[in-house]
Amino acid sequence: MFTPKYPRPDTAPMPATTPPPVYNPTAYAPTPVPAAPAATRPAVQLTPGSVLTLAAGGGALVLVVGAVLVSMLLAVAITAASVAVCAVVIRSILKSDRR
């Protein structure tokens, strides 16, 4: 009952060995790639008016993002100050109850 049961030996025939494939460098030679066609659309040309518009738009974007970040910082500072005031009030209430 407690003796180990070993599986029977494998009776499948051994596979025939084949020689390794021979490397042929001409079979792996890269094929030439055709040249890309020339671009048919013209390049973007910036006029002085468009440069001014881009600069004004970028400046406006920087101002808007800065205003949003400053307002978020201000909201965090106001929240921290109100939490500090609440902590002082609660501490004084608890201290007066002990007396």
Which residue has better confidence, 55 or 8?
A: 55
pLDDT digits (tens, 9 = 90+) for 85-95: 999 999 999 98
d(CA 7, CA 25): 48
54: CB partners within 8 A, 6+ apart: 46
Q: What is the pLDDT of residue 56?
A: 95
| Residue 99 banded pLDDT, cuts 50, 70, 90 | low
pLDDT digits (tens, 9 = 90+) for 75-86: 999 999 999 999
46: CB partners within 8 A, 6+ apart: 54
pLDDT digits (tens, 9 = 90+) for 22-71: 887 777 777 788 887 777 777 778 888 999 999 999 999 999 999 999 99
> CA angle, corner 77, sides to 75 and 83, nearest 5?
100
Report DSSP state, residue 25.
G
> CA angle, corner 44, sides to 59 and 46, nearest 5?
45
d(CA 41, CA 62): 32
Q: Collapse the DSSP code of 44 into the 3-class scheme (helix H, G, I; strand E, B; otherwise coil) and give the result.
A: coil
